Structure 1
Amino acid sequence: MPVRKAALRALTTTLCAALLLAACTEAPPPAPLRGAAGPPGDRDSVPQDRPAPRPQAAWVDRIPGVGPATRAALPAASTQALVVLGETATTNEATAVLYERDAGRRWNRVAGPWPAHNALRGWTADHVAGDLRSPIGVFRVGDAGGRLPDPGSLLPYDQDEEFAVQGTGFAGEPLEGSFDYVIAIDYNRIPGTTPLDKRRPLGAAKGGGVWIHVDHGGPTQACVSLAREVMPELLRALDPAKEPVIVMGPKADIAR
Structure 2
Amino acid sequence: MPVRKTVVFAISAAVCTGALGGGCTQAPQSPSQDHGTPSSAAPRPAPPRPAAPPPPVRLLPELGPAMQARVPADTRQALVVSGRTQEANRARAALYERDTGHGWRLVAGPWRAHNGLRGWTSDHWIGDLRTPIGVFGLSDAGGRLPDPGTRLPYDQDPLFRAEGTGHLGEPLEGSFDYVVAVDYNRVTGTTPLDETRPMGEAKGGGVWIHVDHQGPTSACVSLSEDHMRALLRALDPERKPVVVMGPRADLAQ
1:92-103 equivalences in 2 (<5 Å): 92-103=89-100
Match of 1:135 in 2: 132
Q: Provide, for residues 57-92 of structure 1, a one-character-per-residue CA deviation record: whole Å limited to 9, x for no partner.
A: 422111110110011101110000000000000000
For 1:159, the aligned partner's letter is Q
Q: Could you say which structure has the larger radius of gyration?
A: 2
Return the alpha-carbon distance in structure 2 between the equivalents of residues 105 and 170 of structure 1: 43
- Three-state SS of the structure 2 residue aligned to 1:232 is helix
Report whether the alignment pairs 1:172 with 2:169. yes
Q: CA deviation at 1:196?
A: 0.0
Give distance in 2, aligned partners of 1:105 and 1:219.
Answer: 36
Q: Distance in 1 between matches of 2:53 and 2:170?
A: 42
2:68 aligns to what?
Answer: 71
Please show how residues 19-98 of structure 1 align to structure 2 within 5 Å: 57-98=54-95
Q: Which amino acid aligns with 1:150?
A: D
Q: Deviations over 1:223-245 (max 9, x none)?
A: 00000111111001000000000
Q: Which amino acid aligns with 1:83?
A: V
Residue 56 of structure 1 and its aligned partner are, at CA, apart by 9.8
Moved >6 Å (runs of 4+): none
Residue matched to 2:218: 221
- Residue 233 (structure 1) aligned with residue 223 (structure 2): no
Q: Does 1:181 align with 2:166?
A: no
1:195 aligns with 2:186: no
Correspondence for 2:207: 210
Q: Which residue of 1 aligns with 2:18?
A: none
1:133-188 C-alpha deviation (Å, 9 max, x unpaired) = 00000000010000000000110000000001110001110000000000000000
Uncovered stretches (5+) of structure 1, i.e. residues with no partner: 1-54
The alpha-carbon distance between structure 1 residues 212 and 125, as it changes in their structure 2 partners (threshold 3 A), is same
**Aligned partner of residue 69 in structure 1, secondary structure:** helix
Q: CA RMSD in A?
A: 1.1
Task: Provide the identity percentage.
Answer: 65
Pick the aligned partner of 2:118 from 93, 118, 121. Answer: 121
1:12 is matched with which residue?
none
Q: Which runs of 5+ in 2 are unaligned?
A: 1-51
TM-score, with normalisation over the residues of structure 2?
A: 0.79
Cα–Cα, structure 1 residues 105 and 75, in superposed 2: closer, same or farther, change >3 Å? farther
Which amino acid letter does the alignment assign opposite residue 153 of structure 1?
A: T
For 2:135 and 2:120, locate their aligned partners in 1 and report how far apart those are by CA, in whole Å.
13
Give me the whole-angstrom Cα distance separating, in 2, the residues matched to 1:249 and 1:97: 13
- Asked if 1 retains the 8 angstrom alpha-carbon contact of 2:79 and 2:93, the reply is yes
